[in-house]
Chain A
Amino acid sequence: MKTIYIDGPLDAIHLEEIKDDLAEVNTCLGDVIVLDCTNMSYICSSGLRVFLQMHKDVAAAGGKLVIKGLQPLVKNVFDMTGFSQIFNYE
C-alpha cells in the first residue's frame, strides 16, 4: 500500500507543484494507493480530472485507488460531479 498526502488547496497552481508526487503512482499502479485528502481544503476541476485519470490507470493495472478524509465542502464537489460514486473511500 502506498499513501499520497495532498495538503492545502488543490488549485491549478498547486496541482502543477505536486505533479511529480502524483506521478509516483505510476510506479505502483497494481497496488492499493491511498490519496489522503484530510488536509486538502479545495479542489478545482483539473484536480478532479487528475483523480479520475489516476483511478482509471490504477484500475486498468489491477490496483485500487482509495480516497481518504474528504472535507465537507470538497465532498460537496465530489457529490455534485458524480465523483462520489466513482471512487472507493476509506
Chain B
Amino acid sequence: MQHELTLYNEVKQIALLPGFIEEVSNELGLDEMLVFNLNLVLEEAVTNVIMYAYPKGERHSMTLKAWTEGEDVLAFELKDQGKPFDPIKEAPEVDTTLSAEERGIGGLGIFLIKQMMDEVSYRYEDNSNILTMKKNYKA
C-alpha cells in the first residue's frame, strides 16, 4: 500500500487530511480510535510545518506519504523544504502532572504525536525536513 498527498502551507489544507486517512483506513480496516488518533497526529505534524517552516506569506508545498511495512506497521512520512527544524528535540517538554497554573501552553502537538505513535524520528536530508511516524495498526 502506498498513498501520497501534497499540501500547501495554509491552515485550510488540513481539511484534506481526513480524506487521506480514510483512504488508508479503507484499505487496512483501521478501527475508529486509530483513525481519530491518526487524524490528530497528522494535523499536528502538518500544522507545525504550516506555522513554523516558512517565512509568513510565502507559498510552499509539503508531501505526506503513507505506506505499510511487513505485516502490521503503518508508516507516514512528512517532508518539507523549510528551515531545518527537529520538532522532537526542539519542542518544550510537557509535564502532564502539573496544575493548570503551572502548565505552559507549548509542546502539546509533538507530545501527542509521540504518545500516539510507536516510533517517531526526524532527519534532515537533501535540504528537507523529514518526519517519520510509525504505528502497529494491528496492536
Contacts and interface: CB of A to CB of B under 8 A. Distances in A.
Interface of A: 11-13, 16, 42, 44-46, 48-49, 52-53, 55-56, 59, 73, 76-77, 80-82, 85-86
B33 A82 contact: no
Interface of B: 11-12, 14-15, 32-33, 36-37, 39-40, 43-44, 47, 94-101, 103, 105, 108-109, 111-112, 115-116
A82 B14 contact: no
Contacts of A13: 11-12, 14-15
A56 B100 contact: yes
Contacts, number: 64
A55 B32 CA distance: 30
Instruction: Give 5 nearest A-B pairs by CB, closest first.
Output: A82-B96, A45-B108, A45-B109, A73-B36, A86-B100
A45 B98 contact: no
A11 B11 CA distance: 10
A23 to B, nearest CB: 17
A56 B44 contact: no
A25 to B, nearest CB: 15
A5 to B, nearest CB: 21
Nearest to A60: B101
A42 B94 contact: no
Contact of A80 (B11, B32, B103, B112): B112
Contact of A44 (B43, B101, B116): B43
Contacts of B116: 80
Contacts of A49: 105, 108
Given A44-B40, A52-B100, A56-B101, A12 B47 contact: yes
Contacts of A77: 40, 112
A81 B37 CA distance: 13
Given A12-B43, A44-B47, A80-B112, A59 B14 contact: no
